Amino acid sequence: MTESSSTVRLPQLTIGVENDQPIIFGWSAYGPVSALFHGRLAIMACGGEPGRRIDGPVSGSTYLVDKGLRRAALAAKGFMPEDEGDALYAAARTVPAGGLILEVGSYCGKSTIYLAAAAREAGAQVVTVDHHRGSDENQAGWEHHDPTVVDPRTGRMDTLPFLRRNLEDAGVEDVVTLVIGRTEQVGGWWTTPVSLLFIDGGHAEYQAQADYEAWAHHVAPGGTLLIHDVFPDPADGGQAPYHIFLRALDDGFKERSRTGSLRVLDRVP
């Protein structure tokens, strides 16, 4: 630590400031601190090391997911690791009151519950879009197939009943609106500016590009774009989400933080 260093002690962790740069010292209840959002401190597990530098100004409040909703999210079927769920919540928690959070890829509602927890506290609303027939990689024979979400009547996937039940059990139906349809189709007629867009739909190249094309321009100036499953190294995972992350940077979005494979970007006003 240099002479310009200072520390902020919070109940579960210690953040340091060195030459105006925040630096991780400790661990929250959920893991190491990873990011700071809009001048507010967000706690999440990130797989980072204590002492790793992170960008952004340090100040006041700490956000943690409501315990009951966190339990509900953890219990739901889905593809959102715990630390990334906390990061998703923390990013969404900073949307302005009256703002709109748009999710591409509801599946059974795991990530939707994290977004709903944030929306409720922020005074925002969530719209989540999915056709509920599964992505290419969810179909039988693929790695991410779950036979329990197949409708025995038709043999097709149908995750909508799981989503409805999970949101009902979590008690978040008042802040979440479901849109059932193809994301690129819905994005074509959508007109409301989006405060936070979370892209977690199909991970085939054509689908990720179509989702970006259909939705990225709806992010309001100053709004936030989150992309899930961004793996720069092909050995870690498919490249399509990484490609749309690069496309977003080309389009002027600025990376704010990352937690695991979740990237948070800002649309510069």
Ligand X SMILES: C[S@@+](CC[C@H](N)C(=O)[O-])C[C@H]1O[C@@H](n2cnc3c(N)ncnc32)[C@H](O)[C@@H]1O
Contacting residue, 22, 32, 202, 223, with ligand X by CB under 6 A: 202
Compute the distance between CA of residue 202 and CA of residue 130 in angstroms, rounded to an integer: 10
In the complex with ligand X, which residue's Cβ is closer, 207 or 239?
Answer: 207
In the complex with ligand X, which residue's Cβ is closer, 10 or 204?
Answer: 204
Q: Is 215 in the site for ligand X (CB under 6 A)?
A: no
Q: Is 130 in the site for ligand X (CB under 6 A)?
A: yes
Rounded to 5 degrees, φ, ψ at 127 are -115, 130
Which part of the chain contacts ligand X (CB under 6 A), choosing from 74-82, 119-127, 189-197, 247-255?
Answer: 74-82
Q: How far is the CB of 195 from ligand X (least distance, A)?
A: 18
Cβ neighbors of 52 (< 8 A, separation 6 or more) are 23, 24, 32
Contacting residue, 94, 135, 195, 239, with ligand X by CB under 6 A: 135
> Rounded to whole angstroms, what are the CA distances from 253 to 26, 81, 224, 231?
30, 25, 9, 18
* Residue 100: strand pairing partners: 125
Instruction: Give 218-249 as a DSSP string.
Output: GEEEEEEEEESS--SSTTTS-SHHHHHHHHHH
| Cα 80 from chain centroid (whole Å) | 9
Q: Is 70 in the site for ligand X (CB under 6 A)?
A: no
Q: Is 16 in the site for ligand X (CB under 6 A)?
A: no
Q: How far is the CB of 4 from ligand X (least distance, A)?
A: 41
For the chain, the residue count is: 269
Size of the site for ligand X (CB under 6 A): 22
In the complex, the residues that contact ligand X under the rule CB under 6 A are 78-80, 105, 107, 110-111, 130-135, 138, 159, 182-184, 200-202, 207
